[in-house]
């Protein structure tokens, strides 16, 4: 298996710091700093602790801020710039946010990359959704078709990085996208609320650039050992 281009992460395994306190987040960051590819922060921590925590985590490993911005273009741009200034290396926006917003994101990404490695990822269909749980306003159809349509929309408007489940990797892999894939589990791990999952080696083989792992790492008795297990499983 060829080594994926996972920049700006150090390696393909990104741990989701889905915890509630600054102390928990920093404890995990310290445990994982020398082995993890990156650390994901979401609203759960960002709304409590703001940019100060982002800066503290970014001093330990590349930060992926997963706040899935979906707003008018100027608000999205301001949020992305604030994330970058706090130290984030990767942020997410919604693929559904429309062509004007996506074009603005592509321009901001290009500009900020002149300063340091930075990616804006478009979220397609959440891994907690399947055909039976799509919002009623969305056109009925297969998840794969929904993702294909959104990926084409994202690419046409200048962004080339996506969040997608393992099940969509195979048909996105040869389109020049950076593909960040949640829903990664080892065979012995519980799926939790993830409906579309895969193992690390399988996801990388199918075209993933980087992998997001949450509970199997952060709730492990030894999170560092769990990370090393996932890294070994990537081979």
| Residues recognised as catalytic | 68
Place of tokens 């509970």: 215
Within 13 Å of residue 33, how many CA atoms lie on the same side as its CB? 12
Task: Find out whether 17 and 29 touch, Cβ atoms under 8 Å.
Answer: yes
Backbone angles phi, psi at 209, to 5 degrees: -95, -35
Long-range contacts of 167-173 (CB under 8 A, 24+ apart): 167/143, 167/196, 167/198, 168/124, 168/125, 168/143, 168/144, 169/198, 169/203, 169/206, 169/207, 169/208, 170/206, 170/207, 171/144, 172/147, 172/148, 172/207, 173/206, 173/207
Chain CA centroid to CA 229, Å:
20
Of 38, 24, 64, 63, nearest to 218 (Cα)? 24
Of 127, 217, 230, 232, nearest to 186 (Cα)? 230
Please report, to the nearest 10 degrees, the dihedral formed by the alpha carbons of residues 84, 62, 58, 93 taken in order. Answer: 40
């Amino acid at each position: 298996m060829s080594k994926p281009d996972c920049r700006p992460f150090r390696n393909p395994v990104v741990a989701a710091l889905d915890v509630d306190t600054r102390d928990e987040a920093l404890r995990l960051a310290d445990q994982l700093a020398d082995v993890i590819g990156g650390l994901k922060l979401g609203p759960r921590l960002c709304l409590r602790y703001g940019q100060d925590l982002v800066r503290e985590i970014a001093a330990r490993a590349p930060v992926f801020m997963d706040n899935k911005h979906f707003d008018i273009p100027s608000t999205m741009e301001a949020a992305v710039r604030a994330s970058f200034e706090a130290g984030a290396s990767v942020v997410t926006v919604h693929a559904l946010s429309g062509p004007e917003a996506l074009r603005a994101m592509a321009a901001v990404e290009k500009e900020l990359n002149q300063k340091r490695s930075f990616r804006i990822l478009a979220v397609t269909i959440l891994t907690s959704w399947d055909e039976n749980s799509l919002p009623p306003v969305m056109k009925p159809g297969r998840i794969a078709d929904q993702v294909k349509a959104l990926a084409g929309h994202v690419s046409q408007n200048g962004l080339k990085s996506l969040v997608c489940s393992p099940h969509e990797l195979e048909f996105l892999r040869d389109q020049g996208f950076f593909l960040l894939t949640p829903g990664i589990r080892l065979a012995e791990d519980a799926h939790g609320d993830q409906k579309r999952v895969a193992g690390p080696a399988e996801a990388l083989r199918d075209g993933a650039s980087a992998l997001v792992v949450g509970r199997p790492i952060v709730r492990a008795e030894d999170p560092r050992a769990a990370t090393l297990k996932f890294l070994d499983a990537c081979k």
